Structure 1
Amino acid sequence: MRWVRLYNETAMDPKWRLVAADSGQPVFAVLAVWAAMLCHASGIEPRGTLLGWSDRLIGAALDLPAAAVAAIRAAMQGVTLDGDRLSAWDKRQFKSDHSGAERMRDHRARKIAAGESGEAAPPAVTSRPLRATDSRLQITERQESPQSPPPPDDPPPDRPSLAADFAEWYGHYPHRIGRPAAERAYRAARKRGATREDLLAGAIRYRERLAHPEAPRPCNPATWLAQERWTDEPMPPVPDSRIKACGRSPEPATMGAHPPSRAAIEAILAERCPRLHPMRIRDFAQQLDQWFSRGRLGWNSFWGDPPDSPDCEIPSAAIVAVRSQLGASVEGRA
Structure 2
Amino acid sequence: MNLKQSLICAIALCVLGTVAWELYWRSQGYYPDLDNDEALFAAQRKRADKASNSDVILIGSSRIHFDIQLDVWKKETGIKPIQLAYPGATPLPVFHDLVHKTDFSGTIVVGVTPGLFFSSTTTEKRAYRSANDKVEYFHDQTYAQQLNHILSIPLQQNLAFMSDADGIDAMKLQFLLEGIQFGNRIEGSDFPPFPNFADISLDRNLRMTEKTVTDTAFARLIKNVWSFKSTPETPPRELDKEGVMKIFVADAKAFQDRGGNLVLLRCPSTEYYRKKEENFYCRDEFWDELVKQSGAKGYHFEDYAQLKDLDCPEWSHLSGEDADFFTAEVAKIMMNDNSIPFNLKTN
Q: TM-score range by the shorter chain?
A: under 0.3
Superposition TM-score, scaled by structure 1 size: 0.22
Q: Which has the higher contact order (CA 8 A, sep 6+)?
A: 2
Superposition TM-score, scaled by structure 2 size: 0.22
Larger radius of gyration between Structure 1 and Structure 2? 1
